[in-house]
Amino acid sequence: MKILVPVKRVPDPYAKVAPNADGSDIARDSLPYAVNPFDEIALEEAIRLKEAGSATEIVAVSVGSEESTEQLRTALAMGADRAILVQTSDWLDAPAVARLLAAVYRRENPDLILLGKQAVDMDNNQVGQMLAAMLDLPQATFASKIEAQSGQMRVERETDNGTETVSVTLPAIITADLRLNEPRYVALTGIVRARSKPLETLTSADLGVSVSASVRLVRVETPPKRQAGKRVESPQQLVQLLKEEAKVI
């Protein structure tokens, strides 16, 4: 089984993010970057499937600037066999990214696409579902447990009402949730081996895809400061405040 794992470059989740001077974007100077945590979980699961003998090859793919090679090298150090960068300097929305990943899928013909359920920078939770629709593939989202079966994947998925178990026939798309696993630390030997693993760079033209974002980033601003709360002495006073000051009832 060949597994394709999309990996996104995102600002470090623990870094402090603020708008830049003109509010056109976040301030990116000296901002540390990392592999999207949900994609890291997906990659860890792919590696575990390979260690268990269920997978034969893991291909990491990223859509973004040349700097995304840093995150792809991390993926190679973790255990991916090779990597592909679809290089672009344009800001792309979820449909544009899905179209490029669909083109990579047609080029690579993997048995499984395993990716994070969302990216922590935009929190859209869209690419996996859009990709499944574009490729007309079965999908299982929010996976908390994955088991490989003969020609299928058995997936336990998180829902608002508990856990649901589904089976999808390969080829398929699975999106990873937080409880799927805990990614391993990258060992020094993995970092050394990653230097010799292949990393291919492509463009949208190489894939025969013309992409442009239908959604654009207009402005980034800091949320207003939260106002201090008020202590009330009785339910009647609370109702009065909601009516007269908050005007919500």
Is residue 235 included in any domain, yes or no?
A: no
- The type of residue at 67 is E
172-176 and 199-202 beta bridge pairing: unpaired
Question: What residues make up the domain containing 202?
Answer: 2-222
Q: Please give the pLDDT value at position 74.
A: 96
Q: What is the pTM of this model?
A: 0.88
Nearest to 7 by CA among 88, 85, 67: 85
Beta strands in the chain (DSSP E): 2-6, 9-11, 33-35, 57-64, 82-87, 112-116, 139-149, 152-159, 162-169, 172-176, 199-202
Confidence of residue 225 (pLDDT cuts 50, 70, 90): confident
Is residue 72 included in any domain, yes or no?
A: yes
List pLDDT tens digits, range 52-102: 999 999 999 999 999 999 999 999 999 999 999 999 988 899 999 999 999
List pLDDT tens digits, range 135-176: 999 999 999 999 999 899 999 998 888 899 999 999 999 999
Three-class DSSP category at 239: helix
Domain count, the chain: 1
Is residue 227 included in any domain, yes or no?
A: no
Q: Is the dihedral of CA 241, 242, 247, 249 positive or negative?
A: negative
Q: Please report how many Cα atoms fall inside a 13 Å half-sphere around the Cα of residue 29, on the Cβ side.
A: 3
Is residue 163 included in any domain, yes or no?
A: yes
Average pLDDT taken over every residue of the chain: 93
Is residue 238 included in any domain, yes or no?
A: no
- Would you state the structure tokens that stand for residue 195, as one six-digit string? 């230097």
Return the CATH number at 180. Answer: 3.40.50.620
Is residue 136 included in any domain, yes or no?
A: yes
Q: Does pLDDT of 103 surpass 90?
A: yes
- The type of residue at 91 is W
Are 229 and 236 in contact by the 8 Å Cβ rule? The answer is no
Q: Please give the pLDDT value at position 215.
A: 85
List pLDDT tens digits, range 29-42: 889 999 999 999 99
Average pLDDT over residues 173-180: 96
* d(C-alpha 83, C-alpha 72), whole Å: 6
Is residue 98 included in any domain, yes or no?
A: yes
Are 66 and 51 in contact by the 8 Å Cβ rule? The answer is no
Is residue 170 included in any domain, yes or no?
A: yes
